[in-house]
Structure 1
Amino acid sequence: MAARVAIVLGLSVACLAACATGPGAEVAQRAQTELVGMPKDRLLSCAGVPERQAMAEGREYYTYIARPAYAASPMSSIGVGAGSGGFGSGVGLGLGFSVPVGGGTSGCEATVVLGRGGAVEQVSYPAGVSLSACAPIVQNCVQPR
């Protein structure tokens, strides 16, 4: 019995770890090298118009934001319960929240630096961000594998 519990627990941890990184993390990581050298017009066609733009020292800085695809949202619920065997019954009211499945609740903000020639020089993400959350920003720009 203990061996079965250990196996199920181990598989659960492995599944959760896979969901935390997922295939999107690999896409976001590859974008940091594959996008270097990409012309500005091609970047705009695959990643879209950035949320913010800035110019400094002859370079353009494009900021793209991937917002979470879901958020916890309150919803009302009513529960009715009755005990068996005459032990009692009850009516209850509650407040429920949606539970996100398959990822974290944080988004991502990516900065793309374009050099003087108008080509991508760098793609960066904030430290500690889940790269899976960044994948929607660059997924249309990297080569499929």
Structure 2
Amino acid sequence: MILLACLPACTTAPQRARHELVGLSRADLVSCAGVPDVEEQRDGQDVLVWKQDQQVDGPVSITTPFLFGVSIGGRGTCHVIATLKDDRVSRIAYTGPSTTLNGPLAACAPLISECEAFARKAAVPVKKESGAPDARPE
């Protein structure tokens, strides 16, 4: 039971990325996430989409010699959507049934974890509404 209670909190890179990637340059985003699957302009902003359409399984599978198997956990897919204004990330969003046994947005982690780690190391400052740089939220 303790293990099951911990699992939803175990995959947090996608949640952190919503804040930590804001301010990241387009070049750095493509460098860590790869070339986007879809790219378009809307309302003066660039929208980049990366797709994880292959289902990601939960980590627990039990099989028996009698061809009977049980898989515990959801299967998830994910699309990571980055909105950029002036060649800087202004928003990160996710779509798709991305919950697995590892937690909410777990299917998104492979797409975004490298960028989230890069942003943490680079410590890109988040800008306030007034435009003045501010310390990164924790």
Which band: TM-score by shorter chain?
A: 0.5 to 0.7
2:55 is matched with which residue? Answer: 68
The structure in which a higher percent of residues are helix is 1
1:87 is matched with which residue? Answer: none
CA contact (8 A) 1:38 1:120 kept: yes
- Indicate the RMSD between aligned Cα atoms, in angstroms: 2.8
**Structure 1: 5+ residue stretches without partners:** 1-11, 72-76, 80-94
Structure 1 residue 110, shift from structure 2 partner? 1.6
**Structure 2: 5+ residue stretches without partners:** 59-63, 99-103, 122-138
Paired with 2:95 and 2:65, the residues of 1 have a C-alpha distance of 42
1:106 is matched with which residue? Answer: 76
TM-score, normalising length: structure 2 = 0.64
- Percent identity at matched positions? 28
Q: How many residues align?
A: 108
Q: SS at the partner of 1:110?
A: strand
What residue identity is the alignment partner of 1:32? R
Higher Rg: 1
1:17 aligns with 2:2: no
Structure 1 residue 32, shift from structure 2 partner? 0.5
The equivalences for 1:112-131 within 5 A come to: 112-115=82-85, 117-126=86-95, 129=98, 130-131=104-105
CA contact (8 A) 2:55 2:77 kept: yes
2:19 to 33, 36, 42: 33
2:111 is matched with which residue? Answer: 137
TM-score, normalising length: structure 1 = 0.61
Q: SS at the partner of 2:35?
A: coil
Partner deviation per Cα, 1:53-112 (whole Å, 9 max, x = no partner) = 1111221111112232349xxxxx985xxxxxxxxxxxxxxx64563x5x4201111210
CA contact (8 A) 1:22 1:132 kept: no
Higher RCO (CA < 8 A, seq sep 6+): 1
